[in-house]
Amino acid sequence: MKRVMIFIIAAVIGLGVTGCDRGTNPSEVNREAKKTITIGVMPDVESIPLIIADRNGYFEDEGVTVEIEHFKSARDRDSALQAGRLDGVITDIVAVVFSNEGGIDLKIVSKNDGDIELMAGKGSDIEMMADIKGKSLGLSYNTIMEYTADRMLESAGISDDDVKKVDIPALSNRLEMLQGGKIDAAILPHPLAGLGVKNGARVLASTSEVIGKAGAIAFTSESLRRNREEIKAVFRAYNRAVEYLKTAPASSYIDYVVEVQSFPAGLQESIQLPAYDKASLPDPQVVADVVKWMKEKNLIQRDYQYSDLVDQEILREIQ
């Protein structure tokens, strides 16, 4: 009899526990189960749609938790990527190819938007691209900056051997040397390019006019495999931010962006934002051209194909 009573009591307790489980708030369970997607960004205009998506709560609306990690240099960002601290990065095709060559399986999901400009210093006698022959040009070796500069020179019928390349990796130092007359010309991304123009520099060539852009939003293959639904949500939120940027007055968000991105003080007046597009695949011709340039410079050994570097499914699945 005692055994029967013990069994009945245990059964009742079991039903009570089950009942409590059934009564748990599903939103709390989902919240606990959510994965955090960590994305590394630089102080550039390419990252602004993600900054806006975070500020406006679009990530939360889409059911994904996103942590945006800010870096001052591409070297620090890539070190964090290599250490496995990041799921994705705002980057460029050159850096993606280098990552794959170095053993980090990184895939481009979308291009990004932002212009790079080659400009002459205020005190130089360079009026047009033809005048840059024999002059010093500040850039960073073996990066998207050198790739872009080479293609701009080529478009103007100038060999890269016709200029004196000066390796200045830090963007702020490059701008400072241009403004101080220590170099004749420099290649810079926005927003620093806009600041250079505000201070008297002259734009000689821009990616908006000369060549295809090589910016990229990329995620590790491991994260794409394990967090596919979350990454789709990231891009849905990204696209909502793009729509917002198309219609909202800059005054409603620019102070926030300047602060969060650690842009130089007073940049609000000179910053030039691109006409952002919704997430879309990079141009196959641009990807192939970047690989070709890197091969010609003996920077890589493998012959990378588009499919080696680009995940072509994520964006199709959110259409």
Cα(47)–Cα(91) distance, integer angstroms: 9
Instruction: Give per-residue pLDDT as tens, 72-117.
Output: 888 888 889 999 999 999 999 999 999 999 999 999 999 999 999 9
Does residue 28 sit within a domain?
no
Among 190, 206, 222, the domain boundary falls at 206
Is 70 exceeded by the pLDDT of residue 71? yes
User: Nearest Cα to 254, choosing from 237, 271, 277?
Assistant: 271
- Note whether 236 and 273 are same-domain residues: yes
- Note whether 184 and 110 are same-domain residues: no
Q: How many domains are contained in the chain?
A: 2
Among 165, 183, 206, the domain boundary falls at 206
Does residue 22 sit within a domain?
no
Among 155, 182, 206, the domain boundary falls at 206
**Could you identify the residue written with the tokens 């070190």?**
79
Instruction: Give per-residue pLDDT as tens, 221-267.
Output: 999 999 999 999 999 999 999 999 999 999 999 999 999 998 887 77
Specify whether the CB–CB gap between 237 and 59 falls below 8 A: yes
Cα(211)–Cα(205) distance, integer angstroms: 10
- Note whether 276 and 307 are same-domain residues: yes
User: Nearest Cα to 86, choosing from 98, 97, 94, 99?
Assistant: 99
- What CATH number should be reported for the domain holding residue 131? 3.40.190.10
Strand ranges for 162-238 from DSSP E: 164-167, 185-189, 202-206, 215-220
Q: Among 14-28, 90-104, 151-165, 276-290, which stretch is predicted with the lowest mean pLDDT?
A: 14-28
Global pTM? 0.86
Does residue 95 sit within a domain?
yes
Specify whether the CB–CB gap between 145 and 139 falls below 8 A: yes
- The amino acid that residue 203 corresponds to is V
- Note whether 143 and 99 are same-domain residues: no
Which structural domain, as residue segments, surrounds residue 63?
33-114+214-317
Do the bridges between strand 106-110 and strand 136-139 make them parallel or antiparallel, or are there none, so unpaired?
A: unpaired
The DSSP string of 286-308 is HHHHHHHHHHHTT---S---HHH
In the three-class reduction of DSSP (H, G, I as helix; E, B as strand; rest coil), residue 111 is classed as coil
Q: What confidence score (pLDDT) does residue 34 get? A: 66
- Note whether 179 and 311 are same-domain residues: no
- Note whether 59 and 96 are same-domain residues: yes
